[in-house]
Amino acid sequence: MRRTIGRRDFFRTSAGAGLSLAMARALAAASASAAKTKAPTIGVGIGEDHEKAAIKAVELAGGIKRFVPKGAKVALLPNVQSRHPGSYTKPEILRAVIRLCRKAGASEINALSWQTVKQWEDTGLKAVLDAEGAGLRIFEKDESLFKPVPVPNGIALKEARVLAALFDHDALINMPITKDHAGNKFTGTMKNLMGLNSPANNRTFHRPNWTTDPDGIAHLDQSIVDLNKAVRPALNVVDATEFIVSNGPFGPGQLFSPQRVVAGTDRVAIDGYCAALWGLKPGDIVQIKRGGEQGLGEIDPDKAFIKEEDI
């Protein structure tokens, strides 16, 4: 399904009309100077063929073999939170990543989740896993299935509880869809890792009797940053093809369609790029700002090397 909010239309309604696609392009242009330095590289495939866009993004980010060693067991984490349009990772992107992993010589590929099989079926993601011969490992929300992981330099979160099955794998490919979030305004690579953390531990990200005051929201964002200190994906492949920019993270909501897939290892830089796509200022998103301040990645777009290519 293609539903496009015209750019002009989106700019009129977006709170951050001054940024958006034009901003992302500007960031890409500005980043060219970073190419000669040891800058994080972000690959962006642009086009309505989402499978090809994903392949292009990974190629621009350095090629799949840079992230997936031959013989590796690979864990995948797409977003299956909701089946409302623009709220879950597109099946075509999952297919592309599975095929890339095979090409790199992965010995085993599994999607890990504590969401329900129905959610995987409803989003069409299970059909792709089945067709491509990848595994789907669903876990009950049983705390014994999650492994305590100390958070180095954790501020709000001292210990994460990560699906133990992750540690049976050699590499994690984090595959969120970027989208709106009513709580902290933005979902991207960092937020998506809550899908590997135990639901009970995730609940601690919200303060008791949370009244959505600024401190509560900051606590949530800090907890997300802390979780990302404990879990480091080998690669992030972000669906920025068509996503909700209102009523997130669940939808249904207003759709925006920049038709991009974004890949790389630097979660802060990637999230900053994705936020700018739809008119958000990366520094205004607490998790991105703090991620940058606390060493998770590069928030300054001039210091990232963004490679965009149409397919």
Partner 1 sequence: MAASRGWRAALVLTGFLAAGAGAAPAPVGQDTLAALLPGDGAVPGWSRDGALQEYVGEDLYTYIDGGAEIYQEYGFRRVVLQDYKNGAGKSVSVEIFEMETPAAAYGMFTFKRSGKGRSVPLGSGGELEDYYLNFWKGRFLATLTGFDETPATIDGLMAVARAIDSKSGERGEVPDLVGALPAAGLRTGSVKYLKGLLGLNNVYPFYTARGLDFREAVKGDYDGGSSLIVLQYASVEARDKAWAGLKAYLETTDRFKKAGAAETAVPLFRDGKGLYAAFAPSGPRLFVGLGANPSAALAVVEQAR
Task: Catalog residues that contact partner 1 under the rule CB under 8 A.
Answer: 1, 3, 13, 15-18, 81-85, 118, 181-183, 185, 187, 191, 194, 199, 202-203, 206, 210-214, 217-218, 246-255, 281, 284
Closer of 31 and 197 to partner 1 (Cβ): 197
Closer of 191 and 267 to partner 1 (Cβ): 191
Query: b/e map of 197-218 (b: 16 or more CB within 10 Å)?
Result: bbeebbebbebeeeeeeeebbb
User: Hey, which residues does 174 pair with through a beta bridge?
Assistant: 77, 236
Closer of 239 and 308 to partner 1 (Cβ): 239
Q: Answer for the pair 223, 205: CB distance below 8 angstroms, yes or no.
A: yes
Sheet holding 235-240, edge to edge: 135-138, 108-113, 73-78, 171-175, 235-240, 260-264, 41-46, 305-310
Closer of 66 and 206 to partner 1 (Cβ): 206
CB of 3 to partner 1, least distance (A): 6
- The CA radius of gyration of the chain, in Å to the nearest whole number, is 18
CB of 282 to partner 1, least distance (A): 13
Question: What Å distances lie between residue 5 and 8, 23, 153, 256, CA to CA?
Answer: 8, 17, 42, 5
CB of 295 to partner 1, least distance (A): 22
Measured between alpha carbons, how far is 112 from 101 in angstroms, rounded to an integer? 16
Closer of 62 and 124 to partner 1 (Cβ): 124
CB of 21 to partner 1, least distance (A): 17
CB of 17 to partner 1, least distance (A): 8
